[in-house]
Structure 1
Amino acid sequence: MARILVAEDDPSVRAFVVSALTMKGHEVVAEEDGGLAAETADAENGRFDLMLSDIKMPIMDGIALALHVAAKYPDIIIVLMTGFADQRERAHGLDALIYDVIVKPFTLADLLAKIDDALEGKPVEVVSLGRRALEQ
C-alpha cells in the first residue's frame, strides 16, 4: 500500500481521512497545517507516494504546500481538497502539478476512489484538474 502525507487543519476531517486511509491499508502521516506538512515532507526526504492536502489552512495553505512539494519531490502525487468553490478555482492554475481536487463534503467511498485512482494513475474526469490526466 501507499505512504500518504495528509495536511488538514480541521481535526474531525483529519481524523476521518486518516482513519479511512489507514483502514484501506495505507501508511498515513498527518499534520494540522501546511507548514508542518512541508517540514515533514522535507524531514522524510519526500518519501511519500501521495499527498492529500486541504487548500484553505492557516500558516501555509495547500496551494503553497503543493508548490513546495512539487518543486522538491516531483514524484509525489498531489491531491487537494476543499469545501470552497473559490479555492478550487485557485487550484486551477496548478494543472501540471496536481492530480485532482476533491470537493468537501465527500463520502468515504468518494475519498477512497479518488485516492485509488490517483495511485493507479487513472485519468481524472474531463472537468477535473491534474498532471496525470495531461499525461494520458
Structure 2
Amino acid sequence: MARILVAEDDDNVRAFVTRALEMSGHDVIDASDGGLALEIANEHNGNFDLLVSDIKMPVMDGIGLALAIGAQYPAMTILLMTGFADQRERAHGLDALIYDVLGKPFSLAQLIEKVDDALAGKPAEIIPLARSAL
C-alpha cells in the first residue's frame, strides 16, 4: 500500500492513527511533533505518499510542517487534522498545498476513508466554515 508519515503530539491519537493505518496495510512512520516529522521526511528523501499531521503541535506546528514539506517534496500529499476551529481556519489559506483538514474527533472509518480518498486523488469534500454573526 502507501508509505505514510504521521505527525501528532498526543500519544493516544498518534497511536490510534498509526495503528489504524497499519491495520489497513500501510507502512507508517510516526513523529511526536512537526520538527521530528520534517527530520524523518528528510532522512527518507521525502519518500512518503502521504503526510497526516495535526495542526497544533509544539516545536513546529502542522502549518509550518505543511509549508516545509510542500516546498521540499511537492509530490507528497498532505492531510491535516485538528480539533480546533480556529486552526482549521488557518489551514484554509493552504488550499493549493493540502488535500483536506480532518476534524477531531474522528472515527476509524472517517480516518480510513479520508486517507484512501487522499491517496486516490479524489477531490476533497468541501465543508464550508462557519461564519461568525455580524
Same fold (TM over 0.5): yes
Q: How many residues align?
A: 129
Aligned to 2:131: none
3-state SS of the aligned residue for 1:48? coil
Aligned to 1:121: 121
3-state SS of the aligned residue for 1:57? coil
How many angstroms does 1:125 deviate by? 1.1
Cα shift readout 1:68-102 (whole Å, capped 9, x = no counterpart)? 00000000000000000000000001000000000
How many angstroms does 1:127 deviate by? 2.4
Is 2:62 aligned against 1:62? yes
TM-score where L is the length of structure 1: 0.93
| Aligned residues with identical type, % of pairs | 68
Is 2:113 aligned against 1:88? no
Matches within 5 A, 1:125-136: 125-127=125-127
Matches of 2:46 and 2:64 in 1, distance apart?
Answer: 16
Cα shift readout 1:1-38 (whole Å, capped 9, x = no counterpart)? 00000000000000000000000000000000000000
Aligned to 1:25: 25
36-45 or 119-128: bigger deviation: 119-128
How many angstroms does 1:51 deviate by? 0.2
3-state SS of the aligned residue for 1:79? strand
Aligned to 2:34: 34
Aligned to 1:78: 78
Matches of 1:47 and 1:122 in 2, distance apart?
Answer: 21
Is 2:52 aligned against 1:52? yes
Is 2:5 aligned against 1:5? yes
Name segments (4+ residues, structure 1) moved above 2 Å.
none
Matches of 1:74 and 1:127 in 2, distance apart?
Answer: 24
TM-score where L is the length of structure 2: 0.94
